[in-house]
Chains A and B, each alone.
Chain A
Amino acid sequence: DAKTTQPTSMDCAEGRAANLPCNHSTISGNEYVYWYRQIHSQGPQYIIHGLKNNETNEMASLIITEDRKSSTLILPHATLRDTAVYYCIVRNGGGSNYKLTFGKGTLLTVNP
């Protein structure tokens, strides 16, 4: 699976949009971009995933650049409960990619 690069930490004011970037310049054509987050002392939580089109669900939006080498997770109105480590991973549809591995991720701190 392609490697991803994320900032170590970010801060966001409560109620504002949080924009979390991820670089995946070596992504291949059949690899999806997935986002998970892990709130302290909880299990990882699936947020969203996409291949090449932008995606939106009740939690977030995912913007993938046209060349697919980077993406941005957007939390439109961050709350204090969104403070967590956010993981961007890329996965293809075959092989043993079911063995999820998370990198260091981005620690997002939402401030009052």
Chain B
Amino acid sequence: DTGVSQDPRHKITKRGQNVTFRCDPISEHNRLYWYRQTLGQGPEFLTYFQNEAQLEKSRLLSDRFSAERPKGSFSTLEIQRTEQGDSAMYLCASSLVGLGADTQYFGPGTRLTVL
């Protein structure tokens, strides 16, 4: 049984560059979430999908951020024109809605550093 996987685990980029992260959820999970976590803080919600539909976006998700889940399986999170303030851990989680408490299981995260 494989858990949530994320790629890459670490990304260092220069300010102004675009970056894309990938998340593969637990097989059969229909919901997929993106969170951002800065040092010393708990994760903050960015957006989530149910199957391929993006159902909710946080105000934290500026116009430079876009997320997709085209086939209802893996998801990508793209950040355009990165800024130093984008440096954070980007976490992906998945859940199976309709059974129990819709518990979210997290991946290992992608650590982004913007120089």
A pairs with B: no
